Structure 1
Amino acid sequence: MALAELGVVVLDCPDPDALAGFYCEVLGGTVERDETGDWLDLALPGGQALAFQRAEGYIAPRRPGAGSDGQQFHLDLTVADLDAAHEGVLKLGATLLDAGEPGRSWRVYADPAGHPFCLCAC
């Protein structure tokens, strides 16, 4: 028996509204704001959720890297068309970090706040 269940993944960022908007465009769903604007939830199709929390003095993680500012986690996002998704996330403000060898089934990006994520062909 599990001791707990995962509630939500929370991303610290300097601008929760902007980052929630980015992921809403990428993943779909509905952004739900609290009264302060320092916390936003993105309710995703299928029942999952991401949350975004304002963090004063936020410093984006490095990838790859170790130590206090190295990559601490990343999101794997499954896509049907890797090339189309690549173009789409770049237009939304993502940065390509690692395209890999030609034919590789995944690519690494940073979202507008610097969090790493991968687009993975299904």
Structure 2
Amino acid sequence: MSAAILHSLGASLVALLLLTWGGNLACKLLLRWSGLSAARIAADADPPPAKEPRVGRVIGDLERLTIAVGLLLGSWEVLVAVVALKSVARFKDLEEKLNAEYFLVGSLFSVLWAVAVTFAWRAYDARWGLDLAAGLPGL
């Protein structure tokens, strides 16, 4: 197996891990650092269920992967579609200032993370890999 193939496979694996697991961790750390996580916990009067579903993580993973695919295909409109879908889904929750701030910080950071990881992935693959993005339509 050639070095270019190994670099492309390795870069793709690292990018996928950064887009999913790394994005969730980075977003969680940012929300904790900003104080928004603690403020939301303090604002909730009801105790959380024993085992909360991790729907936010799944949504974040899908969001960042969708953005990465859109950017790889040269379709920046995907960013607008993702933000619009999330806004519609959370419209009722956004009436409260704290929820709106939490949503905006998390969403904007997630979008920026996806853009940064995707461009780093493309740059690495173009330099040391097979330049897979060059063969995609729209690029």
- TM-score, normalised to structure 2, is 0.26
Higher normalized helix content (fraction of residues): 2
Higher strand share: 1
- The structure with higher relative contact order (CA 8 Å, sep 6+) is 2
Please say which structure displays the higher CA radius of gyration. Answer: 2
